[in-house]
Amino acid sequence: MAAIDFLLVHVSAEQQNNRVFTMAMGLLPLANMLNQTGIQCQIIHTEVEKRLDPNFDLSVFVKKHNIRYVGFSLHWHFQLFYTLEEIKKVKESSPDTIVILGGLTAGYFSRDILENFTDVDFVIRGDAETPLAQLVGELLADNNQHRLDHIANLSWKDAEKIIENELSYVATSDDLNRQNSGNAPLVAHYKKYYLYCGGTFYYNIGRGCPVNCSFCGGSRLSQVILNQRKGVICKNVGTVIEDLKRFREHGLDHWYTCFHPFPGKDSFYVELFEEISN
């Protein structure tokens, strides 16, 4: 296996009737972005690994491969306990490993997490693309003078003080258009992972939501609070087609989406599906 500079991890959760198995969709483009800048990044889904090898232990994997940076995706709140348990074990066996958290739940509870869980070094709140690239750039730079105060959306510790940099990076449609979301092999054992997801890949053509369902943590209002996102953003049809083609090249042609950006106006999807049928 090639050396891994940065590992992204999804930890599954099972609580009463709620099961969190699929990874946050945003992980694949993040991993791809890091790889494009020459940083070897891989995604590990701990439950997939355990199904393939019941003795799989993330902390052993991290130590064996001498992985210095591990990013945990804490998106769904059900994952909180399980993710922190894995982090504890990783830090026990590899104390020098730097742990970075991201995802909706991590972002909202960044201060509580940093205050109460000393094993977590950084939390990226909201959209992560530019902040993660900057953070990894700083951490990998060949000096000990890391400058962290300029990295948008970053929460970190300076001695015992918790510093929350401004939540000023909000991804734009142009950012999404530059992303490659379909590089499925970046997920270890991706064929098994997608098989366990019912042969389906989850992929949204944009971010945000135009409405406010009262129960939803991703509604228009929630997005303002969590991500500073004030409107919906969308990829253009051409780049969506490119992503779908990439998934297909990796044997994945069953797409599930959950995104309705323009209520009452179906022209985007009509155009997209016309393109797909061509």
Which residues are near ligand SF4 by CB under 6 A?
A: 209, 211-213, 216, 218-219
Look at residue 182 and give the partner it binds from ligand B12, ligand SF4, none, a contact being a CB closer than 5 to 8 Å depending on partner kind. Answer: none
Least CB distance to ligand SF4 at residue 227 (A): 13
Q: Taking a C-beta distance cutoff of 8 angstroms, is the pair 120, 114 a contact? A: yes
In a 3-state reduction of DSSP, which class is residue 239?
helix
Select from ligand SF4, ligand B12, none the partner in contact with residue 235, using the beta carbon and a kind-dependent cut-off of 5 to 8 Å: none
Binding residues for ligand B12 (CB under 6 A)? 8, 18, 20-27, 30, 71-73, 75-77, 100-105, 124, 127-129, 132, 202, 204, 207, 209, 216-218, 258
- Taking the least distance from each CB to ligand B12, the nearer of 5 and 127 is 127
Q: In the complex with ligand SF4, which residue's Cβ is closer, 172 or 212?
A: 212
* Alpha carbon distance 136, 88 (integer Å): 22
Q: How far apart are the first and last CA of the chain?
A: 39
The span from the CA of 99 to the CA of 268, in Å, is 39
Q: Which is nearer to ligand B12, 103 or 182 (CB)?
A: 103
- By a kind-dependent CB cut-off of 5 to 8 A, residue 211 interacts, out of ligand SF4, ligand B12, none, with ligand SF4
> Coil, strand or helix: which one is 28?
helix
Q: Which of ligand B12, ligand SF4, none is residue 176 near (CB under 5 to 8 Å by kind)?
A: none
CB of 216 to ligand B12, least distance (A): 4
Which phi and psi angles does 162 have, rounded to 5°?
A: -95, 130
Residue with tokens 């049928």: 277
Nearer to ligand B12, 59 or 257 (CB): 257
Select 56 or 202, whichever has its Cβ closest to ligand B12. 202
124 binds, among ligand B12, ligand SF4, none (CB under 5 to 8 A by kind): ligand B12
| Strands laid side by side in the 122-124 sheet | 41-45, 6-10, 69-73, 98-102, 122-124, 154-158, 161-164
Distance of closest approach, residue 196 Cβ to ligand B12, in angstroms: 10
Residue 204 binds which entry of ligand B12, ligand SF4, none, with Cβ cut-offs from 5 to 8 Å by kind?
Answer: ligand B12
Give, for 232, the enclosing helix (H) or strand (E). none
Nearer to ligand B12, 188 or 209 (CB): 209
CB atoms within 10 A of CB 160: 7
Task: Copy the structure tokens of residue 85.
Answer: 């348990």
Contacts of 191 (CB under 8 A, 6+ apart): 251
With both helix axes pointing from N to C terminus, report the angle between 237-249 and 267-277 in degrees, rounded to the nearest 10. Answer: 40
Q: What is the nearest approach in angstroms of ligand B12 to the Cβ of residue 1?
A: 21
